[in-house]
Amino acid sequence: MSNAQMYDMIRGEFSQLVDEMSKKGIAYSSLRNALTPNINKKEIALVFDSTRITSAWYGYEIFEKVLACFDQKTSHSILVGDYIGENQHYHMLRENFMGELISDHEIDYRHNDQFYVVYINNLSSTLFAKLAANLKNYTAFIGYFDLTHETFIKSYLATILCKIAILHKREVIMPGEEDDWAEDGVNITGLPFEDYQFTIRNIFSIYYDLFLSYKIESAVYDGFEADLEFSLNALSPLIEDIDKYKIEIDQAKMDYLLTEKAGKLKKAGIFNYSIDQVAALITEKIRSNYIYEMSQLPAHNVVKFNLVIELVAQATKEVVRCNVTLACNNEDKVLKVVTLF
């Protein structure tokens, strides 16, 4: 398909999704916090040893414990899966697992897939701590990964975990069993959401896969360039080879940001960066295929989107996350920095 054909198809499918969700009383925009990264929120991967659970359906028992921690006021994407990996990579996977796991338990690591992982995004610091604290006395719970910042484990889990649902306040949004928009209340996961007073809302599965599946941010790997192409094609049939576009930051904009956003940017060390160095950081992030909050400004022939860059503060070694908004001008092949904070 040509870029123009792909653009028309994606926009058409997305419009139908938004319309059908609206009929169910769900605004797509209301799921923003569950579907996009937030530099002020945390991400966690809870880890459980399935060999400590007698039931073969260990996921059910685990979710009984996890769901009890939520107060039904927030929105989160949940992904799950076993910590799988080929035998030839056993030592590498074990080393990274043990190196990044935050745990007070003695761990008997015998094989990769004995561990079941539950990933949750959009967490306040309070809820992040609550999840770990409330589960600490559960025998199968062995610890957690803090996935707020880029790590090996975060990138690896991005390749192996599967979507399960979106918790949106008092509702659970998940794919439907049949190709029927009207059907609701079908819990295809079989997990005990209803026992914790969540209402099941179903979305036609192909639309859920395309537009409601959260993608964990990961490091750059060759072979996944199509992700970025499809993301951009959802906004414009004209954008090609965006990693070759020039990053433009005018000096007046940089001076403004360093004045108005001084605290965050000084902490991140950007005060010591040249404009070319900041542009290089942004270029590298674009190559990681992770952009979000995409929108069009047709009157100005501009496409706008966000991305997150991470910097390590030299003084404290703390990782600082900064949000960058870029405006894409197709005619000039330029990505102009709108804001950075």
Contact 90, 112 (CB under 8 A): yes
Find all residues with CB under 8 Å of 75, minimum gap 6, and list them. Answer: 30, 31, 33, 34, 122, 166, 167, 168, 169
Which pLDDT belongs to residue 253? 85
Contact 218, 159 (CB under 8 A): yes
Give the whole-angstrom CA distance, residue 1 versus residue 193: 40
CATH of domain 3-211: 3.30.70.60
Which pLDDT belongs to residue 298? 74
Both structure tokens of 127: 């809820």
Cα dihedral 81/179/187/175 (nearest 10): 40
Residue indicated by tokens 């309070």: 126
pLDDT tens track for 295-325 = 887 777 788 999 998 888 777 788 888 899 9
Which pLDDT belongs to residue 57? 94
Find all residues with CB under 8 Å of 98, minimum gap 6, and list them. Answer: 107, 109
Give the whole-angstrom CA distance, residue 52 versus residue 139: 7
Both structure tokens of 152: 């090996």
Which pLDDT belongs to residue 315? 72
Find all residues with CB under 8 Å of 27, minimum gap 6, and list them. Answer: 21
Q: Can you give the residue ranges of every domain in the chain? A: 3-211, 227-340
Which pLDDT belongs to residue 179? 66
Which pLDDT belongs to residue 115? 98
Give the whole-angstrom CA distance, residue 179 versus residue 193: 22
pLDDT tens track for 49-58 = 999 999 999 9
pLDDT tens track for 51-99 = 999 999 999 999 999 999 998 899 999 999 999 999 999 999 999 999 9
Q: What single string gives the DSSP state of each residue in 60-96?
A: HHHHHHHHTT--SSSEEEEEEEE----GGGHHHHHHH
- For the chain, residues with pLDDT lower than 70 are 178-180, 220-226, 288-289
Which pLDDT belongs to residue 220? 64
Which pLDDT belongs to residue 289? 64
Contact 231, 291 (CB under 8 A): yes
For the entire predicted model, the pTM comes to: 0.92
Both structure tokens of 52: 């400590």
Both structure tokens of 138: 């559960």
